[in-house]
Amino acid sequence: MQIEEYFDFLAPNDIRVKGTRVGIESILYQYIQCKLSPEEIELKFRTVTLEQVYATILYYLHHREAVGKYFVDWLDWSDQQRKAQEINPHPGIISFQERIAKYGTDPKVYKALRAKGVLGSHKNQTVTATNKP
């Protein structure tokens, strides 16, 4: 088996572990930035096997320049997205920050407020994610 067969190359900036939605950048972040072992990384991803983690690391080591650029581009993109969210936060984040400012972070307080009907139920709220470019 060729190492490339472990991956789906969806776009130049989107390489996923085959059969999953996990991008190689997520595994490489844990390996390079967090300095986790492959065994520790496997525990962080439900859909990724230890073999796939090793394949991702091996792919990085064999293509260090290209994958290193891919990883740095992803880090830059992530930083840009974080800054954009800080400048223009989602209304749900604003609401959440206002609640924290008003009521603090104690879960018991929120449970009591929900029981009194002061706060709405969090069960029907949805979160959306933005795909990278």
- At 30-56, the pLDDT tens digits run 999 999 999 999 999 999 999 999 999
Give the residue-averaged pLDDT of 51-63.
96
At residue 20, the pLDDT reads 97
Same domain, residue pair 30 and 43: yes
C-alpha 108/C-alpha 45 separation (Å) is 31
At residue 128, the pLDDT reads 45
Whether pTM > 0.75 for this model: the answer is no
At residue 123, does pLDDT exceed 80?
no
In a domain, 95, yes or no: yes
Q: Which residue has the higher pLDDT, 32 or 121?
A: 32
State which residues form the domain around 57: 3-87
> Are 85 and 130 spatial neighbours (Cβ–Cβ below 8 Å)?
no
In sign, the C-alpha dihedral spanning 73, 77, 80, 86 is negative
Same domain, residue pair 45 and 74: yes
H/E stretch holding 19 = none
CATH code of 42's domain:
1.10.10
In a domain, 110, yes or no: yes
Same domain, residue pair 82 and 96: no
